[in-house]
């Protein structure tokens, strides 16, 4: 008896599962491999294919400025980027934000990255040829370099991010948006919005679009480490539109369990950044809630295909409001 | 949800049952013990004779060993389709003689002998000194031979030290010694000189016994007698060779292999160590050979393949450990099964040498790679350059350590170089993108997994079980399938989701 209690304290697996936290193994077996048909992976693993798919469904994506497909075309990089004030170079099949080079300013032939690092044209060409050789792609397969226009972050979000554009990650399961977070780049993440590189993750109330809590490197934080802004004051603008867009993107991809990454552009509004067939688990930490209770609720539903996007969002708003908000609502009603 | 998983569990059960039954069958029917140690050690040595026949009658004669001090011959067989065979007792030792009327093209003949390790065995013929024979040389050679013998005699006290000093004379590369070796090989001269000095001696062909070695050639040793006793000396270094790890293959100064009617003939040897239960050996006087399909054992293969399998059958154990650590614990490694390959290298190099070598090569490789990245090269060319530098580094380390007298350092060549080069490339990308901390995490994770795999794979019990019970492979397979079904948390996820545990209970 003592030994069992001692073991439980040492390895509190029970308390994790009581919170409904989903682990890596369960995600891989019970959700990704069950709900995501392998043949659909290329659609999301290749950003060019995602872009084409989005185009045919009328979903906005960042503007495509050029593609470099072969090594001999690398010299074209100079022509493709001439006259641009800013742009970014991405591998079409990159994963986890690897190989994304953001040039935020161009000055007399010198390219400045968002963190101020200076690059020459030669460095850009080397980066492109690394991409083509498959350095950043999932299995080292030959890849294609994509040059895209930079996104200009919505003004409401400017203060929450440092050196980069914040994006919204929505986990969509069987067409239902189940959990969301905002990813804010900071100095530690070198302007990238990838959590494992040190970006801040802010859990977003799926019902109202307000911040719930925030984490950096899996630890809770309260203010943005660079801008000092109170993270809990974050309210995502156009939340309803973003949710609708996330559902539409999930529907067009055909995947049952995916992460939809959206951005809010100052001029062009909500757009699709990329789709992810293997979304990470840190979103649970950012929200202070496990994914499993929500996933199980939706897993039990039948004939979800017949529900419209509006119906699904309504269902989610009703069932997945975070506990914290309910608490404040009670406080208000008591007052 | 249940129905999804049923086939997997069925397969697991089938594998478990089949594996356990096969294992039990091997244990019960063939008396293979569960643990190593409660048995006798047997060396199986296989000689493979290759030659090219040109359509004429062929006679091949191979010297074969007999019981000798420390080893008792308990069985021998041959494989030579179409050939007539006889074991002949010559005054110049035992020989296996194959014959055929007509043969074309490449021919392969096998001879296999089982030697039981037995310190009690004596062999009078082998232990008696050869009769001293008169040696006559004339002209300048006689003078030189006398000179060398005189010099060595002055510096020696007994037959053994005389033999050692003679070898030193030959090693000194002076004119007199090289004059002699123009005429006859060193071994023949050493025997002659010792006989001139009244010391019985002969040249013998011996095999260095090392488990799992393939394509060995025998080494020539000098057997020097001092009355009742003798010692074996290495003819190059003059050192005394330990008797218990040398199997003397030919000891009558007769040719090892003699082929009439063929050319390009050569013999090479494979050997493995086997442990056979004492009671079984007493019953049959030999060790078991495969009889039917149920006795599905590696032991029915030729020895050189058996030696190979001894290593291969350990890989599933390493793979199982990788799955355990990645799925249940959540250790991150660079390259999924790279740790298994490193562990195999560790087994060949011994642990400390392997660890030092690995860290040295990867460390130096990272430095070279960071320079290469400034040269703006294409990826494939860059990795090729890293592979070449890894090979050059290994060569330099080997030469350096040999010069410093650290023969251990030579074992660095066992590392899989292409894999190392990829590891270096991946780690340096990781360094640039995620910083040195991630490199340490993944590199350390890989090393940790490799260490654990090494501990398991080099364990005597594990080696014994995997080699003797093929059924265990099914059990390992079943375990891997079971692990593949685990949907629970990984151990390290406890730390990752720590903030979620702390909140409410």
Q: Read off the pLDDT of residues B56-83 as tens digits, 9 standing for 90 and up.
A: 888 999 988 888 888 888 888 887 878 8
Nearest CA in chain B to A195: B434
Least confident of A297-301, B30-34, B420-424: B30-34
Query: Chain B neighbours among A 224-283 (CB < 8 Å)?
Result: none
**A240 phi/psi in degrees, rounded to 5:** -60, -45
Give pLDDT, residue B450: 92
Residue B503 pLDDT > 60: no
Give pLDDT, residue B173: 67
Give pLDDT, residue B288: 45
Model confidence band, residue A50 (pLDDT cutoffs 50, 70, 90): very high
Average pLDDT over residues A271-296: 91
Torsion on CA atoms A77, A79, A85, A88, rounded to nearest 10:
-20
Tokens of B424: 């270096």
Question: Element (H or E) spanning B118, and its range?
Answer: strand B104-118
Residue B279 pLDDT > 70: no
In sequence order, which residues have a C-beta less than 8 Å from that of residue A261 and are 6 or more positions away?
A: A167, A168, A169, A272, A273, A274, A275, A276
| CA distances (Å), origin B501, targets A295, A310, B220, B498, B504 | 20, 35, 70, 5, 7
Give pLDDT, residue B325: 93
> Where is pLDDT greater, at B286 or B124?
B124
Residue B291 pLDDT > 50: no
Residue A192 pLDDT > 80: no
Interface check for A16 against chain B (CB to CB < 8 A): the answer is yes
pLDDT 10s digits, B319-342: 999 999 999 999 988 778 888 988
User: Smallest CA–CA separation between A55 and chain B, in Å?
Assistant: 32
| Site from B438, B483, B500, B501 to mutate, A interface, most A CB atoms within 10 angstroms | B500
Task: Report DSSP letters for A11-73, one per residue.
Answer: S-HHHHHHTTPPPHHHIIIIIIHHHS-GGGHHHHHSHHHHHHHHHHTT---PPEEEEE-SGGG
| Residues of chain A found within 8 Å of residue B501, distances taken between Cβ atoms | 12, 15-16, 19
Give the residue from A147, A131, A129, A149 showing the smallest Cα distance to A89: A147
Give pLDDT, residue B20: 92
> Where is pLDDT greater, at A80 or B35?
A80
> Where is pLDDT greater, at B414 or A244?
A244
Give pLDDT, residue A283: 92
Residue B296 pLDDT > 80: no
Query: Chain A neighbours among B 372-431 (CB < 8 Å)?
Result: 376, 378-380, 429
Residue A248 pLDDT > 60: yes
User: Smallest CA–CA separation between B348 and chain A, in Å?
Assistant: 30
* Residue A140 near residue A134, CB atoms below 8 Å: yes
Residue A207 pLDDT > 70: yes
| Site from A9, A18, A23 to mutate, B interface, most B CB atoms within 10 angstroms | A23
| Residues of chain A found within 8 Å of residue B505, distances taken between Cβ atoms | 15, 18
CA distance B373 to B365: 12
Beta strands in B119-256 (DSSP E): 201-208, 213-216, 219-226, 229-234, 246-250
Model confidence band, residue B295 (pLDDT cutoffs 50, 70, 90): low
Average pLDDT over residues A234-248: 93
In sequence order, which residues have a C-beta less than 8 Å from that of residue A331 and are 6 or more positions away?
A: none
Percent of chain A residues past pLDDT 90, beyond the cut: 42
CA distance A243 to A180: 9
For chain B, the average pLDDT equals 82
CA distance A178 to B3: 26
Give pLDDT, residue B477: 94
Alpha-carbon Rg of chain B, whole angstroms?
29
Percent of chain A residues past pLDDT 70, beyond the cut: 94
Nearest CA in chain A to B493: A23
Q: Which of B87-96, B97-106, B131-140 has the highest mean pLDDT?
A: B97-106
| Residues of chain A found within 8 Å of residue B486, distances taken between Cβ atoms | 25
CA distance A40 to A27: 18
Percent of chain B residues past pLDDT 90, beyond the cut: 10
Residue B442 pLDDT > 50: yes
pLDDT 10s digits, A132-175: 888 787 666 788 999 999 888 888 888 888 878 889 999 999 99
Model confidence band, residue B407 (pLDDT cutoffs 50, 70, 90): low
Interface check for B486 against chain A (CB to CB < 8 A): the answer is yes
CA distance B8 to B21: 20
Residue B502 pLDDT > 80: no
CA distance B243 to B238: 15
Cα end-to-end distance, chain B, whole Å:
29
Beta bridge mates, B113: B45, B76
B405 Ramachandran zone, left/alpha/beta (phi>0; psi -120 to 50):
left
Helices then strands, each counted (H, E), chain A: 13, 13
Give pLDDT, residue A139: 65
Residue B120 pLDDT > 80: no
pLDDT 10s digits, A300-315: 988 888 899 999 999 9
Cβ distance of A34 and B497 shorter than 8 Å: no
Beta bridge mates, A201: A183, A215
The pTM assigned to this predicted structure is 0.68
Model confidence band, residue A1 (pLDDT cutoffs 50, 70, 90): low
Residue B1 pLDDT > 50: no
**Facing residue for B505 by CB, picked from A15, A23, A285:** A15
pLDDT 10s digits, B4-48: 678 889 999 999 999 999 888 888 877 677 777 666 788 888 888
For chain A, the average pLDDT equals 87
Cβ distance of B488 and A13 shorter than 8 Å: yes
Sheet of A176-184, strands arranged across: A219-221, A211-216, A200-204, A176-184, A167-173, A257-265, A269-276
Give pLDDT, residue B39: 66
Cβ distance of A19 and B500 shorter than 8 Å: yes
Residue B484 pLDDT > 80: yes
């Amino acid at each position: 008896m003592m030994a069992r209690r001692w073991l439980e304290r040492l390895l509190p697996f029970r308390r994790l599962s009581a919170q409904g936290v989903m682990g890596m193994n369960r995600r891989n077996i019970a959700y990704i491999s069950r709900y995501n048909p392998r043949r659909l992976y290329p659609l999301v693993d290749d950003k060019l294919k995602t872009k084409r798919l989005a185009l045919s469904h009328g979903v906005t994506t960042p503007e495509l400025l050029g593609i470099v497909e072969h090594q001999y075309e690398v010299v074209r990089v100079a022509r493709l980027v001439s006259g641009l004030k800013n742009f970014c170079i991405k591998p079409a099949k990159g994963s986890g934000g690897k190989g994304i080079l953001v040039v935020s300013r161009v000055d007399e032939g010198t390219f400045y990255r968002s963190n101020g690092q200076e690059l020459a044209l030669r460095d850009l060409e080397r980066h492109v040829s690394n991409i083509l050789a498959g350095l950043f792609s999932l299995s080292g397969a030959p890849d294609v370099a994509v040059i895209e226009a930079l996104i200009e972050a919505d003004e409401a979000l400017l203060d929450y991010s440092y050196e980069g554009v914040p994006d919204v990650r929505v986990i969509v399961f069987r067409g239902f948006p189940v959990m969301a977070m905002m990813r804010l780049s900071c100095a530690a993440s070198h302007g990238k919005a990838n959590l494992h590189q040190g970006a801040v993750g802010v859990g977003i109330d799926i019902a109202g679009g307000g911040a719930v809590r925030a984490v950096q490197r899996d630890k809770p934080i309260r203010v943005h480490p660079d801008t000092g802004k109170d993270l809990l004051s974050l309210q995502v603008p156009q939340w309803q539109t973003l949710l609708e867009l996330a559902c539409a993107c999930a529907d067009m991809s055909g995947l049952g369990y995916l992460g939809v990454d959206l951005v809010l552009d100052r001029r062009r509004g909500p757009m699709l950044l990329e789709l992810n067939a293997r979304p990470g688990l840190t979103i649970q930490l950012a929200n202070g809630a496990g994914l499993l209770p929500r996933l199980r609720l939706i897993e039990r539903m039948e004939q979800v295909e017949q529900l419209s996007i509006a119906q699904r969002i309504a269902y989610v708003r009703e069932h997945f409001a975070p506990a914290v908000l309910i608490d404040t609502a009670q406080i208000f009603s008591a007052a | 949800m249940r129905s999804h998983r049923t086939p997997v569990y069925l397969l697991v059960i089938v594998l478990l049952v089949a594996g356990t039954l096969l294992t039990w069958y091997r244990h019960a029917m063939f008396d293979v013990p569960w643990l190593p140690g409660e048995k006798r050690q047997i060396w199986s040595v296989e000689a493979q004779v290759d030659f090219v026949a040109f359509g004429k009658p062929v006679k091949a004669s191979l010297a074969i060993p007999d019981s000798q001090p420390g080893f008792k011959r308990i069985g021998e067989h041959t494989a030579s389709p179409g050939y007539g065979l006889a074991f002949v007792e010559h005054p110049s030792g035992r020989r296996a003689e194959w014959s055929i009327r007509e043969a074309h093209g490449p021919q392969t003949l096998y001879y296999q002998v089982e030697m039981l390790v037995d310190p009690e065995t004596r062999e009078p013929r082998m232990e008696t000194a050869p009769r001293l024979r008169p040696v006559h040389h004339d002209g300048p050679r006689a003078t030189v031979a006398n000179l060398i013998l005189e010099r060595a005699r002055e510096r020696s006290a007994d037959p053994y030290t005389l033999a050692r000093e003679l070898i030193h004379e030959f090693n000194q590369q002076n004119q007199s010694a090289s004059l002699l070796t123009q005429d006859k090989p060193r071994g023949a001269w050493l025997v002659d000189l010792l006989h001139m000095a009244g010391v019985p001696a002969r040249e013998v062909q011996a095999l260095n016994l090392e488990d799992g070695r393939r394509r060995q050639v025998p080494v020539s040793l000098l057997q020097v007698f001092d009355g009742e006793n003798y010692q074996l000396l290495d003819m190059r270094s003059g050192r005394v060779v330990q008797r218990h790890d040398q199997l003397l293959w030919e000891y009558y100064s007769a040719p090892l292999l003699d082929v009439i009617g063929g050319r390009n003939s050569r013999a090479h040897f494979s050997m493995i160590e086997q442990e056979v239960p004492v009671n079984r050996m007493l019953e049959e006087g030999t060790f078991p050979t495969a009889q039917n399909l149920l006795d599905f054992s590696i032991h029915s293969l030729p020895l050189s393949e058996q030696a190979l399998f001894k290593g291969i059958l350990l890989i599933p154990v390493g793979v199982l450990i990788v799955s355990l650590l990645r799925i249940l614990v959540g250790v991150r490694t660079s390259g999924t099964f790279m740790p298994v390959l490193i562990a195999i290298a560790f087994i060949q190099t011994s642990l400390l040498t392997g660890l030092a070598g690995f860290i040295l090569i990867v460390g130096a490789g990272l430095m070279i790679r960071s320079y290469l990245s400034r040269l703006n090269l294409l990826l494939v060319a860059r990795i090729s350059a890293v592979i070449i530098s890894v090979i050059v580094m290994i060569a330099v380390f080997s030469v350096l350590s040999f010069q410093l007298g650290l023969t251990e350092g030579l074992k660095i060549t066992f590392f899989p170089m292409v894999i190392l080069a990829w590891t270096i490339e991946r780690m340096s990308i990781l360094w640039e993108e995620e910083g040195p901390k991630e490199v340490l995490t993944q590199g350390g994770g890989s090393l940790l997994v490799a260490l654990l795999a090494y501990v398991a794979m080099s364990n005597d019990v594990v080696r014994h079980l995997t080699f003797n019970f093929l059924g265990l492979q099914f059990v390992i397979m079943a375990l891997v399938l079971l692990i593949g079904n685990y949907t629970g948390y990984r151990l390290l996820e406890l730390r990752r989701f720590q903030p979620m545990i702390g909140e409410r209970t």
